Structure 1
């Protein structure tokens, strides 16, 4: 389940340009990615008990109440440097920082459950992690694309660079909308009754 907690807006990114456009030497832009994993405890010796525990203790989510697992992404843009190149106002350098946090259930009663429940849990857990890691990959790809896109934005020197903001706002908004759509479409596909993760979830719920 995808959660976006922070994404820099185009307006915030471009404010510095209005204040102090300056000629700078190109530098090496970079995308810095930090990933970490958290867990919450669940209990139960059969599938139904496990899902009752997940429903009580799982991470809160505005759409589902409590999710089984989540991927929380924060994307921040820093160290933007602007300059004049020929007739254009351009972004000379920018760094994108991405924080991705995965949160998964950790089963405390594994040793007390029978083999069928353990087997069903293991298969479900592998698929849940694959699902969340796909959200992480989408976020990483977006961050790398954002860094490249920011460096293609420009305004006209002849207009005092005043057209920079409007042009950039439109381009960045398009990229952000596409990113959100990709994340939510993935969740929707995975949430369909025929998806593998739903079949594994159903198998675990019936395990006893």
Structure 2
């Protein structure tokens, strides 16, 4: 998983004076896309090497990975002045996620056993990256709620500072949740793959 460095600037803070309204209008806009990269190989060693050479890089590590999710937060907050108070008027949170997944160009001489291993691994990679995107979506919705719940302040400058503080806190929480998920996944990788392979083998035996 990687989060765009630009996400640290994800709020365009517009301190504009508008007419009073009954409450903050909020919206979360989410976009998701998938990009594939091709790997080739007729053996497990060749596939492992292909993933190491062609997999995506992340901001957190110079190493290449079997998959990644690029995450970018954006949006805007506008303010309304009512009398001597300033409050949040409109909140727009945008989230763009791009899953980067491997696609095997299977050669004719690749064994059925290797195909089963690859299908198991590829499915697990996709599940892993989908979960990263889900975590980001949950935090985008939480950001919208946090901004909308901010109370009025004596000036828009003070409220803008509070919005900036909340944005930093929410992004830090997002980063921690993503890192925690990666740690858990890494610790359980071998046992998870063993369990998945046994499940596929049992299903295959039942069909034979």
* TM-score band, normalised by shorter chain: 0.7 to 0.9
The answer to whether structure 1 residue 21 and structure 2 residue 17 are counterparts is yes
1:84–1:90 CA contact under 8 A, matched in 2: yes
- Check 1:197–1:181 CA distance in 2 against 1; reply closer, same or farther (3 A cut): farther
- Check 1:77–1:99 CA distance in 2 against 1; reply closer, same or farther (3 A cut): same
Mapped to 1, the partners of 2:32 and 2:186 lie a distance apart of: 24
Mapped to 2, the partners of 1:40 and 1:87 lie a distance apart of: 56
What TM-score results when the alignment is normalised by the length of structure 2? 0.81
User: Which consecutive residues of structure 1, in runs of 5 or more, have no partner in the other structure?
Assistant: 204-208
Q: CA deviation at 1:27?
A: 6.6
The answer to whether structure 1 residue 144 and structure 2 residue 141 are counterparts is yes
User: Which consecutive residues of structure 2, in runs of 5 or more, have no partner in the other structure?
Assistant: 198-208
- Check 1:112–1:31 CA distance in 2 against 1; reply closer, same or farther (3 A cut): farther
Give the RMSD, CA atoms, in angstroms. 2.4
1:117 matched residue in structure 2? 114
5 Å-filtered alignment, 1:21-170, equals 21-25=17-21, 26=23, 28-62=25-59, 63-78=61-76, 80-84=77-81, 88-109=85-106, 111-157=108-154, 160-170=155-165
Q: CA deviation at 1:28?
A: 4.2
Mapped to 2, the partners of 1:198 and 1:59 lie a distance apart of: 23
Q: CA deviation at 1:123?
A: 1.0
Deviations 1:40-62 (A, max 9, x none): 11011111100101111111224
Give secondary structure in 1 for the equivalent of 2:66: coil
2:205 matched residue in structure 1? none
